[in-house]
Amino acid sequence: MIVFSGMRPSGQLHIGNYLGALKNWVELQKKHQCVFGVVDYHAITTPFNPKAIKKDSMALVLDYLAAGIDPKKSIIIVQSHIPEHTELAWILSTLAPLGELERMTQFKDKAKQNKENVNAGLFCYPVLMAADILLYKADLVPVGEDQAQHVELTRTLARKFNNKFGKTFPEPKAQLLKFGARIMSLTDPNQKMSKTGDESIALIDSPEKIREKIKKAVTDSGKEVKYDEKNKPAISNLLTIYHLFSDKAIADIEKKYQGKGYAEFKKDLTEVIIRGLKPFQERRKKLEKNPRLTEKILAEGQKKAQKIAQETIKEVKTKMGLI
Ligand code: AQP
């Protein structure tokens, strides 16, 4: 099985990115051939700083490595280094129904957030994502819930291409985690945690910052620590975070805090997060001391990925009668 996933170099990674995606990638690479992208062409669909984006891409590679992505097992790439991504995106865009693109929740959300810059790239984002996935003929795409709709479109485009030009692509499936696929904001449990805004806990946050943020995190009415997404969305979100960082079952955590109230639960949760992030933070500090490393890993990744990408493009163009 082939796995593809990516992240945008659009700011500091947060525990939502980690618990919803990155942590799972580390497990998947043990069993499957994985390609993990730093998707910088996706990042430029929303405002970005030209002076910072390259540095942010390199920082994201360090994040991948610090989280446990092993470049000996997995291929790590920067999307803009491999022009076949955009080449395939153009081809797929000719198969993408406008109506489906208009229905994409992420497009609607991001268009609302960036009213001054609702560009065609933002609209076509899901087509580029489909190209990222299909270029490597991936079968599985581990993502958070916000990206599931895009994987569904990828399946549609694969099917359409296959029907029109002959079987070429597998129809990839999204892999969503039972817990963690949608970590919510600490200040508004109805919004997903996002890179922009200080309602998120960054993977590189200091213990002091984490303490402060959890202290400020909203809770629900009542005082019972109980998982109930509908009536207790804030506590359910905090319980999910506790569960994923500690590997303790939700029911056991509920039992532990029976009759104890939110304050004690939050105090312990803070320590669970600090402890959970410590190995990542220590590894990242070490990796930062070797700036050459990312260059080397990316050069190797590019070589391997480009070979696959060029083969796919050749097959696609041949089947379409272009070459
Ligand atoms: N809150 C979340 N809970 C679980 N998973 C999440 N992901 C994002 N937010 C959450 C997953 O992380 C991966 C990388 O996301 P991305 O870089 O494509 O960024 P995004 O989806 O646009 O999310 P962000 O972090 O909120 O970034 P900004 O603020 O730039 O929009 C994906 O698998 C995503 O599903």
Query: Residue 21 is part of a domain; what is its CATH number?
Result: 3.40.50.620
Question: Containing domain of residue 79, as a range?
Answer: 2-182+291-320
Q: Are residues 12 and 75 in the same domain?
A: yes
Contacts of 126 (CB under 8 A, 6+ apart): 96, 101, 104, 106, 107, 149, 150, 153, 154
Q: Are residues 147 and 216 in the same domain?
A: no
Rounded to the nearest angstrom, the distance between the alpha carbon of 166 and the centre of ligand 1 is 34
Give the pLDDT band (50/70/90) at residue 197.
low
Interval 190-204 mean pLDDT: 87
Residue 240 lies in a domain: yes
Residue type (1 letter), 230: K
Scanning the structure block, which residue is given the tokens 């891409």?
57
**Token code pair at residue 6:** 């990516």
Rounded to the nearest angstrom, the distance between the alpha carbon of 10 and the centre of ligand 1 is 10
Per-chain mean pLDDT for the chain: 96
Q: Are residues 84 and 100 in the same domain?
A: yes
Q: pLDDT tens across 177-189, in order? A: 988 889 999 999 9
Interval 39-54 mean pLDDT: 96
For 291, which DSSP code?
T
Counting ligand 1 atoms within 8 A of each CB, the residue from 8, 22, 105 with the most, and so the one to mutate, is 8
Sign of torsion, CA 262 268 269 270? positive
Interval 2-17 mean pLDDT: 96
Q: Which residues are annotated as a binding site for L-tryptophan?
A: 132
**Token code pair at residue 240:** 């999910």
Ligand 1 atom closest to Cα of 195? 29
For 239, which DSSP code?
H
Residue 305 lies in a domain: yes
Residue 199, pLDDT above cutoff 90: no
Q: Concatenated DSSP letters for 29-56? A: TTTSEEEEEE-HHHHTTS---TTTHHHH
Q: Is 318 helix (H, G, I), strand (E, B) or coil?
A: helix
Q: Are residues 105 and 244 in the same domain?
A: no
Q: Are residues 274 and 126 in the same domain?
A: no
**Higher pLDDT among residues 142 and 195, named by residue:** 142
Q: pLDDT tens across 79-99, in order? A: 999 999 999 999 999 999 999
Ligand 1: does its nearest atom lie under 6 Å from the Cβ of 176? no
State what percent of residues in the chain have pLDDT above 90.
Answer: 94
pLDDT at 301: 98
Q: Are residues 201 and 232 in the same domain?
A: yes
Residue type (1 letter), 286: K
Q: Are residues 205 and 227 in the same domain?
A: yes
Residue 189 lies in a domain: no
**Token code pair at residue 66:** 């610090």
Residue 196, pLDDT above cutoff 80: no
Residue 262, pLDDT above cutoff 80: yes
pLDDT at 198: 64
State what percent of residues in the chain have pLDDT above 70.
Answer: 99
Residue 27, pLDDT above cutoff 80: yes
**Token code pair at residue 75:** 């291929």
- Residue 266 sits in a domain of what CATH number? 1.10.240.10
pLDDT at 168: 98
Residue 53 lies in a domain: yes
Contacts of 298 (CB under 8 A, 6+ apart): 61, 76, 77, 78, 81
Q: Are residues 143 and 35 in the same domain?
A: yes
**Token code pair at residue 297:** 């890993």
Q: pLDDT tens across 263-277, in order? A: 999 999 999 999 999
Ligand 1 atom closest to Cα of 144? 35
- Other C-beta atoms closer than 10 Å to the C-beta of 59 total 19
For 138, which DSSP code?
-
Ligand 1 atom closest to Cα of 180? 4
Residue 90 lies in a domain: yes
For 256, which DSSP code?
H
pLDDT at 179: 86
Interval 219-224 mean pLDDT: 94
Ligand 1: does its nearest atom lie under 6 Å from the Cβ of 144? yes
Q: Are residues 84 and 56 in the same domain?
A: yes
Residue 190 lies in a domain: no
Give the pLDDT band (50/70/90) at residue 219.
very high
Catalytic residues: 110, 192, 195
pLDDT at 195: 86
Contacts of 219 (CB under 8 A, 6+ apart): 234, 235, 238, 262, 266
Q: Are residues 281 and 307 in the same domain?
A: no
Ligand 1: does its nearest atom lie under 6 Å from the Cβ of 147? yes
Interval 247-273 mean pLDDT: 96
Residue 226, pLDDT above cutoff 80: yes
- Rounded CA-CA distance 66/37 in Å is 15
Rounded to the nearest angstrom, the distance between the alpha carbon of 195 and the centre of ligand 1 is 7
Residue type (1 letter), 33: Q
Ligand 1: does its nearest atom lie under 6 Å from the Cβ of 17? yes
**Token code pair at residue 11:** 């700011």
**Token code pair at residue 266:** 């939050």
Q: Which residues are annotated as a binding site for ATP?
A: 8-10, 16-17, 144-146, 183
Work out how many domains the chain is built from and give that number: 2
Q: Are residues 23 and 106 in the same domain?
A: yes
Q: Are residues 137 and 95 in the same domain?
A: yes
**Token code pair at residue 56:** 């942010």
For residues 84 and 134, is the Cβ–Cβ distance under 8 A? Answer: no
Q: pLDDT tens across 109-139, in order? A: 999 988 998 999 999 999 999 999 999 999 9
Residue 191 lies in a domain: no
For residues 104 and 126, is the Cβ–Cβ distance under 8 A? Answer: yes
**Token code pair at residue 79:** 């999307």
pLDDT at 299: 97
Task: Find the distance separating the first CA and the last CA of the chain, reported in whole Å.
Answer: 29
